[in-house]
Amino acid sequence: MTVRLTDKPIDYHLVTESVRTPRAGAVVLFLGTVREFTDDQQTTALDYDAYPEMAITKMEELVAEAGEKWPILNAVIEHRVGHLELGEVCVAVAVSSPHRKEAFHAGQFLIDELKVRVPIWKKENWIDGQSEWVHPGEEESVRSNTPSS
């Protein structure tokens, strides 16, 4: 079980290989990628910020919980931080298990819970030059012209 933050492109082939084992009959890989359109708004890039120590702690908790819930053999989460262009991989979750159902369930649990528990944030850079932090549940939508770094 491994979790990591990286400011380099995620090698998802390596992530996938790292959970493979002859004891597994199933390997599930989830990739989150930078999407161009959110409804009618056009994104040009994302910037990810993280609270690294806590993000690692929370991701370690998630893989431990997944291991308690399902008989998985291995799980890896790798999340990118910094500036990402369209189509780049922002997160990779790989899970191996003897049978496919557990790998699918654990993989879905890991990405769903990561999105609500792990202190990582994305900032949308829109095509009109404005940028905006994504903070689910915040009523206020604050746009700024602050150039992204």
Partner 1 sequence: MTDPELTMNLTVKLFARARDLAGTSHADVTLSNQQTVEEMLSQLVIHYPQLASIRESLLVAVNNEYVPSETVIPANAEVACFPPVSGG
Closest distance to partner 1 from the beta carbon of 82 (Å): 13
Q: Tell me whether residue 21 or residue 33 sits nearer to partner 1 (CB atom).
A: 33
Q: Which amino acid is at 126?
A: W
Closest distance to partner 1 from the beta carbon of 125 (Å): 14
Closest distance to partner 1 from the beta carbon of 149 (Å): 11
What is d(CA 70, CA 79) in angstroms, rounded to the nearest whole number?
Answer: 22
Q: Tell me whether residue 23 or residue 135 sits nearer to partner 1 (CB atom).
A: 135
DSSP 21-65: -TT-SEEEEEEEE--SEETTEEEEEEEEEE-HHHHHHHHHHHHHH
Q: Tell me whether residue 20 or residue 54 sits nearer to partner 1 (CB atom).
A: 54
List interacting residues with partner 1 (CB under 8 A): 32, 48-51, 53-55, 57-58, 79, 90-91, 111, 114-123, 133-140, 142, 144, 146
From first CA to last CA, the distance across the chain in angstroms is: 33
Q: Tell me whether residue 4 or residue 58 sits nearer to partner 1 (CB atom).
A: 58
Closest distance to partner 1 from the beta carbon of 105 (Å): 17
What is d(CA 23, CA 79) in angstroms, rounded to the nearest whole number?
Answer: 26
- Inter-axis angle of helices 52-69 and 100-117, to 10 degrees? 150
